[in-house]
């Protein structure tokens, strides 16, 4: 809820990675985030100066490197203020991979955004759309509101012969082989490669404990925070891939991102988060895609309107 006399801010980080001129090139990811940018401006009250767009187009001033994405997210979180009802949005469109875990009970690690979400000031919301493979459950520990289908529940795929689709999955072995070629180190420990390549820019989970933990804790305590604000709309289940469509004469797009845009265009009023995901599922099913978007958030956020649209 907004404080009297204090307007809420709407902040966004939009990331689109097509990986041009590589063996894993995609075609629709930049189009996804540019379409979302226009939707945020015209429908949801976002302002140009409150959005950061990172793409790997040649003319892009801000490239979507890991360090740049983390810095952009950090800047967005730091702009949010206590009690103002600020709305934060992160759209990622690109490849996704699953990293094998050393724990037998958990065969794959998930990229955790919980640490970022927990840094939000009280009263703010954080919504993420991830149009990538294996994106289900990226905001760890958030409740599964719309979850995976069992194999028996899945509708049979329709034959689609008029469009070309590419999986947005990036095999872990391919990631590891590429990192090994860059570092010259033969190891399956991805953290070792990241430390060798990026040093201080590597994620904290891969770094030696050289940071001033007391200083970090003091900064985190400087604002009142809460831990139940993450909303994830994933393009597919954790065990599925997301489709990248086109790349020929027509305009390319991500299947899930396009489904979101379709639902928003066909429904002018405010939509609850769970309504938006279920409608996107219906769009994908009608078009013959075998991927099932999921929703992870609290019960309250499941019934909240997408991006707090009035």
**How much is the pLDDT for 1?**
40
Sequential pLDDT tens for the chain (310 residues): 444 444 689 999 999 999 888 887 888 999 999 999 999 999 999 999 999 999 999 998 889 888 888 889 989 999 998 888 999 999 999 875 444 444 444 443 445 555 677 778 888 999 999 997 544 445 554 577 876 653 333 333 333 434 566 654 455 555 556 556 656 666 655 455 455 555 555 444 333 343 444 454 454 445 555 555 689 899 988 778 888 888 666 789 999 999 999 999 999 899 999 999 999 999 999 999 989 999 988 899 999 999 998 7
Q: How do beta strands 165-167 and 243-245 pair?
A: antiparallel
- Whether 29 is a known active-site residue: answer no
Give the DSSP H or E segment for 131: strand 125-131
Eight-class DSSP state of 1: -
**How much is the pLDDT for 193?**
45
State how far the Cα of 164 lies from the Cα of 90, in Å rounded to an integer: 27
Q: Is 125 strand, coil or helix?
A: strand
φ/ψ bin of 110: left (φ > 0), alpha (ψ from -120 to 50), beta (otherwise) = beta
DSSP letter for each residue of 51-84: EEEEE-STT-SS---HHHHHHHHHHHHHH--TTS
**How much is the pLDDT for 276?**
97
**How much is the pLDDT for 213?**
43
Q: Enter the tokens of residue 227.
A: 């831990």
**How much is the pLDDT for 290?**
87
Structural domains for the chain: 10-168+212-308 (3.40.50.12660)
Which is catalytic among the residues 17, 29, 91, 95?
A: 95
**How much is the pLDDT for 201?**
52
State how far the Cα of 228 lies from the Cα of 44, in Å rounded to an integer: 22
State how far the Cα of 102 lies from the Cα of 115, in Å rounded to an integer: 21
Give the DSSP H or E segment for 244: strand 243-245
- Whether 133 is a known active-site residue: answer yes
203: Cβ–Cβ under 8 A, 6 or more apart, which residues?
A: 66, 70, 194
Q: How many CB atoms lie within 10 A of CB 157?
A: 11
State how far the Cα of 279 lies from the Cα of 272, in Å rounded to an integer: 11
Which is catalytic among the residues 133, 236, 294, 297?
A: 133
**How much is the pLDDT for 272?**
97
């Amino acid at each position: 809820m907004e404080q009297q006399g204090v307007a809420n801010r709407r902040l966004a980080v939009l990331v689109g990675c097509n990986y041009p001129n590589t063996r894993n090139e995609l075609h629709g990811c930049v189009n996804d985030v540019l379409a979302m940018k226009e939707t945020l401006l015209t429908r949801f009250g976002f302002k140009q100066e409150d959005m950061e767009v990172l793409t790997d187009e040649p003319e892009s001033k801000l490239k979507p490197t890991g360090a740049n994405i983390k810095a952009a997210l950090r800047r967005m979180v730091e702009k949010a203020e206590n009690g103002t009802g600020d709305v934060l949005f992160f759209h990622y469109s690109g490849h996704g991979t699953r990293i094998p875990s050393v724990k037998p009970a958990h065969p794959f690690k998930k990229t955790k955004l919980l640490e970022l979400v927990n840094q939000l000031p009280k009263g703010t919301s954080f919504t993420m759309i991830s149009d990538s493979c294996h994106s289900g459950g990226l905001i760890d520990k958030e409740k599964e509101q719309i979850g995976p289908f069992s194999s028996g529940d899945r509708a049979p795929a329709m034959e689609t012969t008029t469009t070309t689709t590419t999986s947005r999955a990036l095999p872990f072995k391919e990631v590891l082989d590429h990192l090994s070629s860059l570092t010259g180190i033969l190891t399956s420990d991805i953290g070792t490669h990241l430390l060798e390549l990026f040093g201080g820019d590597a994620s904290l989970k891969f770094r030696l404990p050289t940071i001033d933990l007391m200083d970090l804790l003091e900064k985190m305590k400087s604002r009142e925070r809460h831990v139940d604000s993450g909303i994830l709309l994933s393009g597919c289940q954790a065990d599925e891939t997301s489709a990248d469509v086109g790349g020929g004469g027509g305009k390319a797009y991500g299947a899930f991102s396009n489904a979101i845009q379709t639902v928003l265009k066909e429904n002018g009023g405010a939509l609850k988060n769970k309504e938006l995901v279920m409608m996107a599922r219906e769009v994908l099913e009608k078009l013959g895609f075998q991927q099932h978007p999921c929703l992870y958030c609290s019960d309250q956020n499941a019934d909240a309107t997408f991006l707090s649209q009035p």
